[in-house]
Chain A
Amino acid sequence: MSALPLPTVAAPPTAGAFRVVLFEGTGAEPMPNALRSELLTGLLKSGYATSVVRAGGNVSPMQSGTLVVLGRFTEAQPDTLDAQPDAQGGPVTVHFRTVADQTAAELLAQVETLREATQLPKPGTWKPWFPVIDYDRCTNCMQCLSFCLFDVYGVDSEKRIQVQNQNKCKTDCPACSRVCPEVAILFPKYRHGPINGDVVSDDDVRRESMKVDISSLLGGDIYQALRDRSAKFKSRFSKERDSDKALLERQKCLTKLGEQLDIPAEVFASLPSLDEIKAKAEAAQAKAEAMLAGQSR
């Protein structure tokens, strides 16, 4: 059996990586174009990182984890091989699967079976929507920390703002980026620039500043605006006893806010109660102020 020139292994060791290799280097014949394309697309859509290995070039190394190598091998390969090709690297388990007459769907099913055996979670179960901070622009003003009600933000040991709980972010809601005066918060999957990572122009900075002003016009801050509108609607509700009218008023308020900040309706639907909002906003504000006080010392 000849040794295949697989991705090399490098330090330091980590665990949990899972990668598929479409092997077309020395010791294997190229796959038909149609099969390769269909398989590659299917693997990526199913959430699998894939390297196409060919003679005359390199792909990334693998420190540790599981490699599934698919190829039209010219010589028999072992079903499974445990390797530690570098003293500093962790163990790599390599599964070889010969591509013969299988369809792309059948090969993908083989990969799924091997992934399930590793007990790694199924990829693609969560839409990766979360803020990313551009530290070239961020001034650590903590407005995002004060604003977010879902505990997405926190600070590191050096009191620098950071995104700590990406999975708590509300899908498709870019509201915190709207309150950032420096246009330092990105949502790479957002439709429009500069929030999507496009270059920030002077006009963008002016426009974002105006949006902060708009939120101020709503009554100091957005949560205060929500509370004020709620108080008004409660008062009217008590007088008129008209639940439909009250609901309509609240919906109008939220719709207006949603349009201005591009916040999906689902986010409003999942907001905590007004009392909880008040408590959370105060806690976040206190946390941000404490961090800022710490910075100025």
Chain B
Amino acid sequence: MTLPLRVLYCHCTYANVVPKAVKEEVLRQLAESGIPFDAVPDLCELSARKDPSLPDLISSDEPLKIVACYPRAVKWLFSAANTPLPADGVAILNMRTDTAEAIMAQLRGEMETSTSEEESE
């Protein structure tokens, strides 16, 4: 069985706008969860330099969860790098407004829901 979604985490390394306690706790829980995931230092930096890894990071057959900041910012950061996010299958979780527990609950809940749907098919 493979996990029914992909996770991309942004550490917002070069600014202090994402609460440090939230991003570090999300990262710690992800690291200890057994979930495979991609982590980037700073999506803003990747967008600014139109990093060649951006298309890879969002190319996915599974639903993609991006753990970063405001969805409007994330959407247009990818667009600015000529790598628009797919219209469907992408959800953005906001570490500037949500707690680490809420974000991890959404990730775990999504996985459990999708897994049980897969098993019942």
Min CB gap A265→B, angstroms = 19
A105 CA to B58 CA in the complex, in Å?
30
A132 CA to B79 CA in the complex, in Å?
9
Assess whether B44 is interfacial by the CB under 8 Å rule. yes
For the complex, count residues of A whose C-beta is within 8 A of B.
58
Q: Which secondary structure dominates where chain A touches chain B?
A: loop
User: Chain B interface: which size bin?
Assistant: 35 or more
Asked if A135 meets B31 with Cβ closer than 8 Å, knowing A19-B53, A58-B2, A189-B15, the reply is: no
Q: Which residue of B lies closest to A64 (CB)?
A: B52
Asked if A130 meets B14 with Cβ closer than 8 Å, knowing A49-B39, A52-B36, A124-B41, the reply is: no
Assess whether A48 is interfacial by the CB under 8 Å rule. yes
Asked if A47 meets B39 with Cβ closer than 8 Å, knowing A188-B69, A190-B17, A196-B17, the reply is: no
Assess whether B8 is interfacial by the CB under 8 Å rule. yes
Which residues of chain B from 28 to 74 have any CB-CB distance to chain A below 8 Å in the complex? 28, 30-32, 34-42, 44-48, 51-53, 55-60, 62, 69-74
In the complex, chain B residues whose CB is within 8 Å of the CB of A272: none
In the complex, chain A residues whose CB is within 8 Å of the CB of B40: 44, 49-50
Q: Which residue of B lies closest to A137 (CB)?
A: B72
Say which residue of B36, B48, B56, B72 sits within 8 Å of A197 (CB atoms): B72
Assess whether B93 is interfacial by the CB under 8 Å rule. no
Assess whether A219 is interfacial by the CB under 8 Å rule. no
Which residues of chain A from 2 to 17 have any CB-CB distance to chain B below 8 Å in the complex? 10, 14-17
Q: Which residue of B lies closest to A10 (CB)?
A: B59
Contact between chains at B11 and A167 (CB < 8 Å): no
Say which residue of B11, B48, B56, B77 sits within 8 Å of A62 (CB atoms): B56
Contact between chains at B37 and A51 (CB < 8 Å): yes
Chain B residues in the interface with A (C-beta under 8 A): 1-3, 6, 8, 11-15, 17, 24, 27-28, 30-32, 34-42, 44-48, 51-53, 55-60, 62, 69-74, 76-77, 79-80, 96
